[in-house]
Amino acid sequence: MDKDKIRVAATNRKARHDYIILSTVEAGIVLQGTEVKSIRQGNINLKDSYAELRSGEFFLVGVHIGKYPPANRFNHEPERDRKLLLTRREINKLGGKTTERGITLVPLQVYIKNGLVKVELGLAKGKKLYDKREAIAKRDFEREKEREWKMR
């Protein structure tokens, strides 16, 4: 049996396109039961979400977790802010970094690890338009190079 069994529930591909990821950290999320069941079904969207420091704790803002239909009236609020579980050292380190201008904390992916829902957060700096164009051009060049290599 695998000790670290990981199943990815959602990835934020837009984050890697819009930001330069400086470092990553794994955090737990405080969730309700219906939210966990909904995540297991893949009903989660990380688009336009970020982490925010409030009174010494980080909260995940803008994550949409769809309603779990069998829960009926006992369902959760899909757009509520969710508390992140980090150590005090990580909170202090990330809190100091996010106060710098142009640096934010964005969720890169949500996954289930050993039965627990975890989120991978990236300390990110926004890309300029020319950086995005450069990344697209580089990716296209690599694709063309691979095509030529396969034809040989």
With a cut of 90, say whether residue 45 has pLDDT above it: yes
With a cut of 90, say whether residue 145 has pLDDT above it: no
With a cut of 90, say whether residue 148 has pLDDT above it: no
d(CA 44, CA 36): 10
DSSP secondary structure letters along 83-96: EEE--HHHHHHHHH
pLDDT of the residue at 11: 92
Res. 2 pLDDT band, cuts 50 70 90:
low
Contacts of 87 (CB under 8 A, 6+ apart): none
Contacts of 123 (CB under 8 A, 6+ apart): 21, 22, 23, 24, 25, 94, 97, 98, 103, 104, 105
pLDDT of the residue at 1: 47
Sign of CA pseudo-dihedral 87, 93, 99, 105: negative
Kindly report the pTM of this predicted structure: 0.81
Q: What is the pLDDT of residues 10-42, one digit of tens each?
A: 999 888 888 889 999 999 999 988 999 999 998
Pick the CATH number of 6-127 from 2.30.330.10, 3.40.50.2300, 3.10.350.10, 2.40.280.10: 2.40.280.10
Q: What is the pLDDT of residues 92-142, one digit of tens each?
A: 999 899 888 889 999 999 999 998 999 999 999 988 877 788 888 888 988
